[in-house]
Amino acid sequence: MASIAFLEISIAFISLLAFYFFINKKPHECFPRNLPFLGMLPGLLVAFDRFYDLAVDVLEKSNMTFPFKGPWFMGMDVLATVDPANIHHVMSSNFGNYPKGDDFKEIFDVIGDGIINVDGELWENLRKSTLAIFSHEGFKRFSIIANVKKVKKGLIPFLDHVAKENMVVDLQDVLERYVFDTTCITITGYDPSNLSVEMPEVEFYAALNDAVEAIVYRHVKPRILWKLQKRIGFGVEKKMRRAHATFDRICEEYVAAKREETRLGLHSNGEAMDLLTSYMNLDAAKYGTFDPYDDKFQRDTLLTFMIAGMGVGSALTRFFWLLSANPEAITKIRQEIKTVLPRIESRDDDDDDELSFDPKDLKKLVYLHGALCETLRLYPPIPFERKSPIRPDVLPSGHKVGPNATILIIIYAMGRMKAIWGEDAPDFKPERWISDSGGLKHEPSYKFLSFNAGPRTCLGKEMAFTQLKTVIVEIIRNYDIHVIEGQEVESLVSVILRIKNGLRVTVSKRSNE
């Protein structure tokens, strides 16, 4: 009898599988099949390397919102959306119901209580304090000087060497190293010299790349699995453990050195100063939920902004890759630089007058700004955003979400939605951002989400544009970047949108105009 019962159960199970595979057809071929017990996870894992492009196809065919079903009882169901109405609802109009939450903080545990990881009063005070620092003339002056100096004394000499030696280099690695150095200088005041002809191995830089790799896998693995791997130190979680230890040790060294400088009175509140020094000079009484002089606070702040800065390298790499396929855009940008950007008297008697890198002057580069916005639309440095409600909600699209449900806003796919950007959505068109009168067109943040939206809109947006334009102006007027033909340029699935195998290029020096 037992064998008969087992046979009946087996037949029933096989019949169920047959039903799902052969009878229950998918609405569209690009949709992952919803299997018994396993949900859609197998289909996602099979296509994981092309996750972003798959998301574009699925969301285009599902009216911009798609319910992904994970394995039963694993808590991995996800509502993927790029619907601007949903995004405005989640990010702005119903903001209070969508905090970062415990799950988000656990996935991003490496940055502790950094501003992107916390909620409530602590987040409000961190945002107020960060805004105060970013608005301070001393910090703004310091960040501009650090950026221009690193371009002039670091990036340009490196590219001169590459051009002279006819070298093939990974442009992504070069630009990410430049960004790492500049970000580290802006935050700590110290230059790690990651960008040099020797291309040295820098422990902190390698640890950042390991950490962002581990974080993305935490989004697609069952929580119980990655937490087990974390406990025993296995796979990418082993890399995360090493990265975590590296961050703790190096951040401690930076903070200790900065604390000693402050004790010796080497900085005053009115002069140009780095981020850590600026925090140490804050009036702690104004921000009761955190101590700006606390070691852990400084460590979490340093690491948060180092990871945030990685997006600049991503944007720069994609910008030059897109320009390589659009030579007419290069011509327009060079002409705009030549005719619009003012020159200032050089401090070096051997040099001609220099271009102005004052943020007010850089804002006059309308076409360049449009080209940057197009790059960020098509290749947002942060390709997705994770949200969860604390109370039941109904989105404008009509989808119901329960408490702690996971909503995944896929920013990469959003920039390619024809329902949002028109039939030419996949095309690189800087003119999309320029009005008939020649000024810049504004797009609402819930449509152009590269700098987030609502109360959590990125505080460093203007600083990022200034840095991007400074680098681009110096490179594009001095060099021609030649992308090696035949290489595959695929996006790596990560929390920072990078090119999987880098971008191999050669560089040639242009004659002075």
- How does pLDDT run across 133-166, given as a tens digit for each residue? 999 888 999 999 999 999 999 999 999 999 999 9
Q: Does residue 30 register a pLDDT over 70?
A: no
pLDDT, mean of residues 361-389: 95
| Cα 297 to Cα 287: distance, rounded to the nearest angstrom | 13
What confidence category does residue 286 fall into, taking pLDDT thresholds of 50, 70 and 90? Answer: confident
Q: Which residue has the tokens 């051997």?
A: 350
Q: What are the two backbone dihedrals, phi and then psi, of residue 454, each rounded to the nearest 5 degrees? A: 70, -155
Asked which of 6-20, 39-53, 61-75 is least confident by mean pLDDT, the reply is 6-20
* Residue 346: pLDDT band with limits 50, 70, 90: low
Give the pLDDT score at 33.
79
**At residue 27, does pLDDT exceed 80?**
no
The pLDDT of residue 228 is above 50:
yes
> β-pairing, 393-394 with 406-410?
unpaired
pLDDT at 338 over 60: yes
Instruction: Supply the range of the domain harboring residue 280.
Output: 23-509
Give the pLDDT mean for 75-96.
Answer: 94
CB 491 within 8 A of CB 416: no
Highest mean pLDDT among 144-158, 224-238, 336-350: 144-158
437-470 per-residue burial string, b: 16 or more CB within 10 A, e: under 16? eeeeeeeebbbbbbbbbbebebbbeebbbbbbbb
C-alpha–C-alpha distance, residues 89 and 97, integer Å: 10
Confidence of residue 29 (pLDDT cuts 50, 70, 90): low
The answer to whether the beta carbons of residues 220 and 236 sit under 8 Å apart is: no
- 122-126, 219-223, 484-488, range with the lowest pLDDT: 219-223
Q: How far apart are CA 209 and CA 307, in angstroms?
A: 9
- 48 band by pLDDT with thresholds 50, 70 and 90: confident
Task: Tell me the C-alpha distance between 349 and 467, whole Å.
Answer: 26
| 40: confidence class by pLDDT, cuts 50, 70, 90 | confident
- Beta-carbon contacts of residue 436 (< 8 Å; ≥ 6 apart): none
426 found inside a domain: yes
- Asked whether residue 8 is domain-assigned, the answer is no
Domain count, the chain: 1
Instruction: Between 356 and 509, name the one with better pLDDT.
Output: 509
Say if residue 384 is exposed, middle or buried (CB neighbours under 10 Å; 0-12, 13-18, 19+).
buried
Q: What is the mean pLDDT of residues 271-294?
A: 80
**Residue 264 and residue 400: Cα distance in Å, rounded?**
58
What band does 512 get if pLDDT is binned at 50, 70 and 90? low
Which residues fall within 8 angstroms of residue 137, CB to CB, at 6 or more apart? Answer: none
pLDDT for residue 9: 45
Give the confidence band of 45 by pLDDT, cuts at 50, 70, 90. Answer: confident
pLDDT at 347: 55
Measured CA distances, 256 to 204, 220, 259, 280, 433 (Å): 17, 37, 5, 12, 46
pLDDT digits (tens, 9 = 90+) for 118-134: 999 999 999 999 999 99
Q: What is the pLDDT of residue 353?
A: 57
Are 327 and 335 spatial neighbours (Cβ–Cβ below 8 Å)? no
Q: Rounded to an integer, what distance in angstroms lies between the CA atom of residue 367 and that of residue 332?
A: 7
Average pLDDT of every residue of the chain: 88
pLDDT 10s digits, 421-457: 999 999 999 999 999 899 999 999 999 999 999 999 9
Q: Give the pLDDT score at 479.
A: 96
Summarize the confidence of residues 24-51 as an average pLDDT: 74
Tokens read off for 299 = 């460590």
Tokens representing residue 185 in the block: 């200088």
Q: 3-class secondary structure for 380-418?
A: CCCCEEEECCCCCEECCCCCEECCCCEEEEEHHHHCCCH
Distances (CA, A) of 232 to 33, 208, 209, 214: 33, 21, 21, 15
Q: What CATH number does residue 164 fall under? A: 1.10.630.10
Question: Is 473 part of a structural domain of the chain?
Answer: yes
d(CA 152, CA 158): 10
Q: Where are the beta strands (DSSP E) in 54-100?
A: 65-68, 78-81
SS3 label, residue 78:
strand
Cβ–Cβ under 8 Å, residues 255 and 298: yes
The CA distances from residue 336 to 331, 340, 442, 492, in Å, are: 9, 6, 20, 33
d(CA 58, CA 33): 12
pLDDT reported for residue 154: 95
pLDDT value at residue 28: 60
pLDDT of residue 24: 46
Residue 471 has pLDDT above 90, yes or no: yes
Asked whether residue 15 is domain-assigned, the answer is: no
| For residues 47-51, average pLDDT | 84
Q: Cα separation of 365 and 86, whole Å?
A: 33
Position 16 pLDDT exceeds 70: no
Residue 78's beta-bridge partner residues?
68, 406
Measure the CA–CA gap between 269 and 421, rounded to whole angstroms: 46
pLDDT at 7: 44
Question: Rg for the chain (alpha carbons), in Å?
Answer: 25
Distance CA 364, CA 361 (A): 5
Most confident of 135-144, 223-232, 313-322: 313-322
Residue 340: count other Cβ atoms within 10 Å of its Cβ. 14
Q: Confidence class of residue 6 from pLDDT cuts 50, 70 and 90?
A: very low
Highest mean pLDDT among 196-205, 298-307, 412-421, 489-498: 412-421
